[in-house]
Amino acid sequence: MCAYNAIDGAPACANTMLLRDHLREAWHFDGYVVSDCAAVADVDTGHHYAPDMAHAAAAALKAGPIWNAAIARGKPFLRSSKRYSSNW
C-alpha cells in the first residue's frame, strides 16, 4: 500500500522513483500496489502535485500502476487511466 506522505517532493502514490524504480525494478516486486481510500485524491487535494483528480490518478498509474481502494474514488481513477494512458 502506498502512503499519504511525500518522498523527495513527490507523493508516495505518484512517486515513480519509489514505486517503479525501487519497488518494481530494483526489488522485482510484481504484485499489486493499493492506495488507501483517499491517497490518490490527496495527490491533488493535499499535495497539490496534480491540477485535478484525473491528473492525480494518471500520475499514480504512471508511477505504479496502483489499484485505488475506494469504490467511489475508483470510478474517476479508472476513467482517467483510459483517458491519459495514451500520454505515457
**Residues labelled catalytic:** 36
Task: Tell me how crowded residue 79 is: count the other CB atoms within 10 A of its CB.
Answer: 13
Percentages (nearest 5) of helix, strand, coil residues in the chain:
55, 10, 35
